[in-house]
Structure 1
Amino acid sequence: MKNLFTLCFLFVALQQSFSQDADSLNQVVLKDTTYWNSEFSVGLNFNQAAFSGNWKAGGVNSIAFGSIAAGKANYAKGKLSWDNQIELIYGIVKNEGQQVRKSNDRIFFDSKVGYKAGGNWSYFGSINFLTQFTDGFEFGPDDQRTLISGFFSPAFLTSGIGMEYKPNKDFALRIAPFSPRFTFVTDPTIIQNVPSNYGVPEGQTVRTEWLALQLFATYNKDITDNLSIRSRYQMFANYETLAFRTIDHRLDVTLIAKITQFVDVTFTSINVYDLDMDPGIQYSQALALGILYKVNNKK
């Protein structure tokens, strides 16, 4: 009986101890996660067109596929913040009589650590990375391909230290007077078709620009429950070659209109001016109907 009483006492004591430890662990976990705001979305779209051989209005049989995956994980506690964003986009199109071509291709990652300075201003340090998944080609007569880009050819790794102005949750502007940038071209054959080699000196795989200014602005807003805009503008100016025509600009805009909970229409636009790539303004746009699934930790 005495042994039974002892076992019962030990069981109750251990149960209370485990219960207290579990409660403490839950409090720690809940306390930690309250400082994070995370979101992940993935979308797929498919387009197809077919015409009979005697279709008098004209047309080309085609199949197109597109995908987008985006995520963010932002931490904020007191004056300290840490924002992370990743964006992966890829699309292809196949027209009858032509090789498969890309319709979109982007890998983008951005990470920023901030510390509140006062009012709407913060000190920050950031790093962002941009490249593409697969080879890019210029198509000529008879569908001949000329290689002009690829994974890490080019790739841009840009850092920045400066001040950020954020008057509200929708808009933010980073001003980085010290913003080194590294441009990579790892495929030595690119220079045969792109003489500028995206600014990387011949015979080398990386160009370093230590003294530079960067402006980085974002505007992300849910205009209505079913319509949202995501935009990002980046300006880069090398102090050593500073002139109006040598300043790089890039503007990315995405509009998302929800039709149902999982079906949406997405418009993406990319606009680039970079003298090391091309003397003119480059732009691309895509409009797609597809499926978009989103999850977040908001309660």
Structure 2
Amino acid sequence: MKKTILYALCMILSMGVRAQEDLNKDDRESIRKAREDAEANIDSSKIWTTGGVFQLNFSQVQLVNWSAGGVSSVSGLAQLNGWANKRKGKWAWDNSLILAYGLLAEQDKRSTKTDDRFELNSRLGREIGGPWFASALFQFRSQFVEGFDADIDTLKISNFLAPGYVLFGLGFDYKPSKKFSAYLSPIMTKTTLVYDQDLADAGAFGVDPGVFEITDIGDTTGFTQGKNVLFQMGAYANVFFTTDIAKNINFMTRLELFSNYLDNPQNIDVNWETLWTFKVNDWFAATLNTLLIYDDDIDILQKQDDGTFKTGPTTQFKQTLSIGLTAKF
């Protein structure tokens, strides 16, 4: 009898322990499912970080019977910098858009551009250890309207998608902080687009120019149009840095380098931008922007001291100092 009671007690205890184990197992499974459901139902707006800055600058000079000379003029510059970045788990997706257009109108003269920029950047990476990411990079750069030579204002030298630049490659992204990043790619493709046929026929921006078909006796029998696309492959580096120098002073710089494996790899293309922002208040700011470019495929028409002209690659530099309305969103 005692053995029977003892056996029954053991059975009851073992059933209780087993039931508790089943309950714990069910609880763990319920918790796991609840966590997965919560992660799946996270508002996507909390994963994305978006923002931007819009700047509008304007100046005007009116001269009437001015003894010191000069001309009346009006100028304006609008610029938009926007970004949308996503973080989820080990994945990071950074996107930025830069739009700028400036115009100068002088009395009795043709209006000229002071800025014209369209740039889209996208970078998708997966964390592989610490601040290192394996990343794919895409970049598109072009302009909005036609551009004309400063010395010969009827000579067209650029247009929308003439040039247009498309970069795509795989590499490694080093991002130790929000202030600094460095992207290195041993395999980057750079495609130059020239979809203005007049410029393509002239061989602008490195594409093959148009060729007249001439017979042995000098007669012209036809014309082969210039190519619209130039393909390059090489190594690429992109370094970004930003910091607050003081409470209302911010400095940003970005340096891009590209070496073409297929032609003169020692001639490195450079695109170096700096931006100083001096904040006056929430709505007004002064900015100093510089952009230095060297592209071995771009021949620049240059006027010499003797009045003649020559073409060839050279360093391009642009500096813009402006003050005006600034709005953040």
Shorter-chain TM band? 0.7 to 0.9
Mapping for residues 98-247 of structure 1, pairs under 5 Å = 98-140=109-151, 144-191=153-200, 195-202=202-209, 203-209=226-232, 211-244=233-266, 246-247=267-268
SS of match in other structure, 1:54: coil
How far 1:229 moved relative to its partner? 2.3
CA distance in 1, matches of 2:41, 2:101: 36
CA distance in 2, matches of 1:111, 1:273: 23
CA distance in 2, matches of 1:161, 1:243: 19
2:103 counterpart of 1:92: yes
* Cα deviation digits, residues 226-279 of structure 1 (max 9, x gap): 2222322111111122443x2110012222211121011122211100121132
SS of match in other structure, 2:258: strand
Relative to structure 1, the CA distance from residue 242 to residue 120 in structure 2 (aligned partners, 3 Å threshold; closer, same or farther) is: farther
Q: Is the 8 A contact 2:52 2:82 kept in 1?
A: yes
* Cα deviation digits, residues 148-188 of structure 1 (max 9, x gap): 00000000000120111122211111001110111100011
Q: Is the 8 A contact 2:59 2:76 kept in 1?
A: yes
CA RMSD of aligned residues (A): 2.0
Residue of structure 2 aligned with 1:270, choices 271, 291, 296: 291
Paired position in structure 1 for 2:215 = none
How far 1:26 moved relative to its partner? 11
Aligned length: 264
Relative to structure 1, the CA distance from residue 54 to residue 169 in structure 2 (aligned partners, 3 Å threshold; closer, same or farther) is: closer
Larger radius of gyration: 2
Paired residue type of 1:277:
I
Paired position in structure 1 for 2:326 = 292
TM-score by length of 2: 0.76
Percent pairwise identity:
28
Relative to structure 1, the CA distance from residue 206 to residue 220 in structure 2 (aligned partners, 3 Å threshold; closer, same or farther) is: same
CA distance in 2, matches of 1:84, 1:257: 25
Q: Is the 8 A contact 1:162 1:177 kept in 2?
A: yes
Paired position in structure 1 for 2:15 = none
Mapping for residues 7-18 of structure 1, pairs under 5 Å = none
Q: Is the 8 A contact 1:196 1:277 kept in 2?
A: no
How far 1:49 moved relative to its partner? 1.4
How far 1:140 moved relative to its partner? 3.3
Residue of structure 1 aligned with 2:48, choices 29, 36, 41: 36
CA distance in 1, matches of 2:283, 2:293: 31
* Cα deviation digits, residues 90-118 of structure 1 (max 9, x gap): 10001223210000010000000011111
CA distance in 1, matches of 2:284, 2:168: 37
CA distance in 2, matches of 1:257, 1:263: 9
> Relative contact order (C-alpha < 8 Å, sep 6+): which is higher?
1
- Structure 1 alignment gaps of length 5 or more: 1-24
Bigger drift between 198-207 and 168-177 goes to: 198-207
How far 1:27 moved relative to its partner? 9.2
Paired position in structure 1 for 2:270 = 249
Mapping for residues 38-53 of structure 1, pairs under 5 Å = 38-53=50-65
Q: Is the 8 A contact 1:258 1:264 kept in 2?
A: yes
How far 1:196 moved relative to its partner? 4.2
